[in-house]
Amino acid sequence: MEWIADPERAGGWLRERLDENLGVVPHGFPAYARVFHPAQVRALPDRPVPEMEEWVRMPDAEQQRLMALFDDRPATWAETAAAFGTVMHPLAQWSRLVRTPEGGDWQVRNAPDGREFTSPDEGSMAADLFARLAAHLVAHTTTPDAGVAALWEGHGGLLGFHGPTPSRTFLSFSDDPQHQAMLNESIHDRFNNPFAKPVWQPGILSDEISHGPRLRLPGRDHVLFSAAPSAFADPDWVLGAPWRDRPAEERGFAPAAQHPSILWPADRAWVMVSEIDFDSTIVAGSGALVAEICADPHLEAHTVADGADLSWDGDEVNG
């Protein structure tokens, strides 16, 4: 994967197929699939957490059973709708699916049966799930080894910038009170000093890319890379991504990389869009591709129309 220094030449065609006001899904393809990002569900225990003395006397199997009650697991939107007594449909919106009252917290909601549901990730899905989707995409292009990956420039830490403080910081903790006091003072000074002067804060990508041109689309600017769509069909695609978060890895975090916000093959047979504010991913392509995606039991997907309203107001069924 290589940085594309002339993003307009590579991706300008996409702008012609987008609405002027925050258009994210290109028009003019035969069919569209909406792939719903998984939510998380936790089965809350039906009794208080045992005290430590009671806990240590329990058999291992009982301890494991209780611990499992606090473990999150993926939940489909269909399962969520069943729990809240709402209707799952192609234009469903999470806040209405979980019956969020006006002004209420839609991100974490307790269903009538006591289970706790946490909203899906917006703008991304797990690397293995993305690889599952990419495998379908690769099978429906004549150029599986040539394409373009676009990343929204606003992903935290991706690009360098001029500012008084970095966009993120990695904290270390110590049992030494003096060390912790020094750390707290350092953090306070760094982030709250109104007289701090802007300096260059490096990002994950090189300074050259950070200073380079973007593909300007309605409401969003992107950094472009040449990328083989087939590479993303491997769950380990993260290891080959130039935007892999190596600064985090140097501090002990597992390898990670944001999957493309937009991906398309050189023959433009389809376009995949993971808008940063959407809790689902849209694929525009052939009818055969969309049908295949929607039939995959590992993906929760429905067909939607070209130009479908995917805003919160678009869910008129659970309105």
d(CA 215, CA 15): 9
Task: Report the predicted TM-score, pTM, of the whole model to 2 decimal places.
Answer: 0.81
* Low-confidence spans in the chain with pLDDT less than 70: 21-22, 44-53, 55-56, 64-71, 161-196, 200
- Tell me the C-alpha distance between 257 and 51, whole Å: 40
**How much helix, strand and coil, in percent to the nearest 5, is found in the chain?**
30, 20, 50
Phi then psi for residue 237, to 5 deg, are -60, -25
Residue with tokens 């380079």: 212
Predicted confidence at residue 200, as pLDDT, reads 64
Exposed, middle or buried by CB within 10 Å (0-12, 13-18, 19+), for 130? buried
The two three-digit tokens of residue 201, written as one number: 């804060």
**pLDDT per position as a tens digit, 230-249:** 999 998 998 988 988 888 88
User: What is the structure's pLDDT at 46?
Assistant: 58
How far is the C-alpha of 186 from the C-alpha of 180, rounded, in Å?
10
Tokens of 288: 């055969």
301 bridge partner residues: 35
Can you give the pLDDT at residue 171?
A: 53
CB 114 within 8 A of CB 225: no
pLDDT tens digits for range 257-300: 889 999 999 999 999 999 988 999 999 999 999 999 999 999 99
